[in-house]
Amino acid sequence: MDAFTHGLASYAVTRAVFPRASRATMLAAILAGSAANLDYLSASFGPSVFLDWHRTATHSLLGILIVTALSAIAVALATRRTQKPDSFRTIFIAVLVACALHVGMDLTQNESVQLLWPFRTQRYSANWVAPFDLWILLVLLAGVLLPQLLALVTEEIGAKSKAPRGQIGAIIALVVVFGYISARAVLHGNAVALMEARTYRGELPRRVAAFAESDSPFHWRGIVETDRAFHDFDLNLVPGSSFNPDAAVVSYKPQSSPPLDAARATESVRRFLEAAKFPKASVEKTNTGYRVQIRDLAQQRETHSGRRVVAIVETDPNAKVLSEELAWDQKM
């Protein structure tokens, strides 16, 4: 999710768990809870570095512990001479919860997370929530701002409350967000079941995935892989709507060939396939041989990011690899 949503979520969870936390602890939780998104800066160093670092180290369990420890130590040292500083335990738990919430929210999205980096390359994603979800943002914004506005109104009329400001609003916002994501999880299961129960131009599905769209909880993108092709759908899960398996945009797989087999054996393609959900290859004949490109169909509609990686392999007419690279996808 975007940094602003993560910042609001970090503030809400810290206010809910530690309503009397100091400003230093609150600021540390917000910054640390948004820090995982710094991995996007790896795009400045090229597509190869981006593929290695985006949603890997900073979104891993190890990354959570490192960011938490460094942030907690920094705040404890910076506030040790202040009046009534928060205990190290309070600081550590507040930052830990914020960092864990960031990764947990990202796991519900379409983009995958290498949670067990650097020990395992497997990536995880639930595909329940789009990379940017306006409804989550609005709920968190209301949970943070409305209690502050109500407290100001109360103080204007002369009534003062000794209760910590904003705790109840933060708890309500987090509960609503949890319920919303849970509802999207149910809809995701319905979408997958709907696609698994059909045939596609005479073929049974091999793999099925539903990806959340940002405009509505009932709008999903479906991808079905069969033996010969990929079928790309817009799914409407509003009660009473119909599903037509023949309405898909169909992308046929290339036939097996020596250039394609040679490309699959390269290091660049191997790394790409570890991150891609639905890799789709294309083989083109060139003046010097063949050009093999592999894209991830799951990323083709994602507009939140201008960065998509494609694997490109050039071979000679005898399928000997001449060059291989990870490049930015120009088809956007």
Distance CA 201, CA 253 (A): 14
- Quick one: pLDDT at residue 12? 96
CB atoms within 10 A of CB 295: 21
- The pLDDT mean for the chain works out to 92
266 shares a domain with 225: no
Identify any residues that bridge with 315 across adjacent strands, giving them in sequence order.
290, 321
How much of the chain exceeds pLDDT 90, in percent?
Answer: 86
Report whether pLDDT(251) > 80: yes
Written as one string, the DSSP assignment of 205-273 is: -SEEEEEE-SS-TTEEEEEEE-SSEEEEEEEE-STT----GGGSEEEEPPPP-HHHHHHHTSHHHHHHH
Strands 249-252 and 219-225: unpaired
Identify any residues that bridge with 221 across adjacent strands, giving them in sequence order.
211, 234
124 shares a domain with 15: yes
Report whether pLDDT(304) > 70: no
- Quick one: pLDDT at residue 81? 85
What Cα–Cα distance (Å) separates residue 202 from each residue in 77, 113, 209, 242?
Answer: 66, 35, 19, 20
135 within a domain of the structure (yes/no): no
CB atoms within 10 A of CB 55: 28
265 shares a domain with 234: no
Domain total for the chain?
3
**DSSP code, position 116:** T
191-223 per-position pLDDT tens digit: 999 999 999 999 999 999 999 998 899 999 999
Report whether pLDDT(164) > 80: no
2-31 per-position pLDDT tens digit: 899 999 999 999 999 999 999 999 999 999
- Residue at 216: amino acid letter: S
22 shares a domain with 78: yes
- Quick one: pLDDT at residue 162? 56
The whole domain housing 226 covers 182-252
- Quick one: pLDDT at residue 253? 96
Q: Does residue 47 have a cis bond before it (omega within 30 degrees)?
A: no
Could you tell me the pTM of the whole model? 0.91
Confidence of residue 1 (pLDDT cuts 50, 70, 90): confident
158 within a domain of the structure (yes/no): no
Domain boundary among 252, 267, 301: 252
153 within a domain of the structure (yes/no): no
CATH code (residue 270): 3.30.505
192 shares a domain with 290: no
